[in-house]
Amino acid sequence: MSDLTNLTELTIKEAARLLRLRSFSAAELVTAHAERIERLDRRVKAFLRFTPELWEKQAEEADRRIARGDLGPLVGIPMAVKDVLCVRGVETTAGSRILSGFRPPYTGTAVSRLFAAGAVMLGVTNCDEFAMGSSTENSGYHPTHNPWDLDRVPGGSSGGSAAAVAAGEAMIALGTDTGGSIRQPAALCGVVGMKPTYGRVSRYGLIAFASSLDQIGPFTRSVEDAAIVLDAMAGHDPLDATSSNRPNDVLRDFDAGVKGLRLGVPREYYDVEGIEPGVKTAIDMAIKALREAGAEIVDVTLPHTDYGLAAYYIIAPAECSSNLARFDGVRYGLCQDAQNITEAYERTRRKGFGTEVRRRVMLGTYALSSGYYDAYYLKAQKVRTLIKRDFDAAFEKCDAIISATSPTVAFPLGSRTQNPLSMYLCDVLTLGGNLAGLPGISVPCGMTDEVLPVGLQVLAPQWREDVALRVARAYEVTSGVKAGVAPIE
């Protein structure tokens, strides 16, 4: 049996190899993570709830599969699931009080595919309420802390998932990305986070924020691990009308390197307002490393970048206003006593929804209202088209686009909660990928002088996850910068 104290620092590939060699069992691997969670999570607060009955059953089944010679890469691997992804019988609340006590009668496709591959669920991770936020401070329960500095945010909205992987509390964590909610917390927590092309992974079982933008993806501690998880989740699903039936080729040319590839650096992203000097220094070093690995670095332009934030914060609230109209407390979750149905709706939603959710619902309802639809929502959709065309034109000159993932490192808890605009600006480098439906990945690219992680973002053309993964993998190998477990013990 291997030393259990080291099991929480392994990558998926390393753990899978040792499981096949019977160096330890799946049950022991899961126990090591459960014990680490018990020691650390009262400080990190990555999790909202745990699923011991599920992990015990799944770990036992994983060990039986291994004994039968099932050598799948995810058999016995511990994972966590963001609190917007339905798991049958497990309380799922989208980080909101309005859904307190809701236990879905089904499991979402992305999660069920990982279960089928042998992954073991540890629990449900914290997030900004209904995935609306960039710091995980908008959770209806409690904020999550960054494992690299417990006084700072982990990013959001999937901050609990990013923090769980960074703290060694899970080897895989699923998140969702509507405007950067996988990539931005991955950057701030120093882990790998992958957003697939819109339609690559089924959204069935996802509690929707903005249906034309949401995508499910993994957090891991290596690019190869992210590729393994994405490969297991991807593929057509008849339960999701937006899922694609394209061939699943995300692992193509994974280790081919970047020699001969053209990597575009958009001037609008490189010189974005508010980018911190430490972030820019790390990105400059990453660009240099990729050039030395054989990539050709080319200048590209995304001229409508300045309009992206405004367009996103009309489209996303409009869609959330529509999606969240169904939550009234009548069938499940929070319900308030009232004299009539209208008063019940008002009380339930006022008490159940937090400040940021109410803000976005009101913004979206206004943008969709009679007399304002054309002036706001329709115009925002036209800007979205222009942004998509910008990326199309850029990809005629390059194979992938590289930039910082976030213009800043993790900021102190509470420092932006009173200024929504400063919080929204956290997504300025990521939301374009959502508006255009592109695949993107954030990979660690060093630390600032404050010993805080910086992320390198790689965006690729639609359906070219293989290119994004290939570039990220080449950088990881060339630079030697890897996602490590934060030293919080």
Which CATH number is 4-233 given?
3.90.1300.10
From 25, 82, 134, 406, active-site residue: 82
From 96, 139, 181, 442, active-site residue: 181
Q: Which residues contact 389 (CB under 8 A, 6 or more apart)?
A: none
Please confirm, yes or no, whether 181 is among the known catalytic residues: yes
Strand duo 400-404 + 453-459: pairing: antiparallel
| Whole-number Å distance between alpha carbons of 120 and 76 | 6
Please confirm, yes or no, whether 82 is among the known catalytic residues: yes
Whole-number pLDDT of residue 5: 53
Whole-number pLDDT of residue 3: 52
Q: Are 289 and 479 in contact (CB under 8 A)?
A: yes
| Whole-number Å distance between alpha carbons of 405 and 433 | 11
What secondary structure, in 3-state letters, does the chain show? CCCHHHHHHCCHHHHHHHHHCCCCCHHHHHHHHHHHHHHHHHHHCCEEEECHHHHHHHHHHHHHHHHCCCCCCCCCCEEEEECCECCCCCCCCCCCHHHCCCCCCCCCHHHHHHHHCCCEEEEEECCCHHHCCCCCCCCCCCCCCECCECCECCCCCCHHHHHHHHCCCCCEEEEECCCCCCHHHHHHHCCEEEECCCCCCCCCCECCCCCCCCCEEEEECCHHHHHHHHHHHCCCCCCCCCCCCCCCCCCCCCCCCCCCCEEEEEHHHHCCCCCCHHHHHHHHHHHHHHHHCCCEEEEECCCCHHHHHHHHHHHHHHHHHHHHHHCCCCCCCCCCCCCCHHHHHHHHHHHHCCHHHHHHHHHHHHHHCCCCCHHHHHHHHHHHHHHHHHHHHHHCCCCEEEEECCCCCCCECCCCCCCHHHHHHHHCCCHHHHHCCCCEEEEEEEECCCCCEEEEEEECCCCCHHHHHHHHHHHHHHHCCCCCCCCCC
Neighbours of 453 (CB within 10 A): 30
Q: Is the dihedral of CA 297, 300, 306, 312 positive or negative?
A: negative
Whole-number pLDDT of residue 322: 95
| Whole-number Å distance between alpha carbons of 72 and 391 | 37
Please confirm, yes or no, whether 422 is among the known catalytic residues: no
CA distances from 122 to 19, 26, 169 (A): 18, 13, 9
From 112, 157, 158, 403, active-site residue: 157
Whole-number pLDDT of residue 1: 42
Q: 230, 214, 382: which is closest to 307 by C-alpha? A: 382
Q: Are 441 and 192 in contact (CB under 8 A)?
A: yes
Q: Would you list the domain boundaries of the chain?
A: 4-233
Q: Are 63 and 27 in contact (CB under 8 A)?
A: yes
Mean pLDDT by 10-residue block, N- to C-terminus, for the chain (489 residues)? Answer: 71 95 96 97 98 97 95 96 98 95 96 98 98 96 97 97 98 98 98 98 97 97 97 97 94 96 97 94 97 97 96 96 90 76 86 94 93 93 98 98 98 92 92 97 96 98 98 96 85
Whole-number pLDDT of residue 402: 98
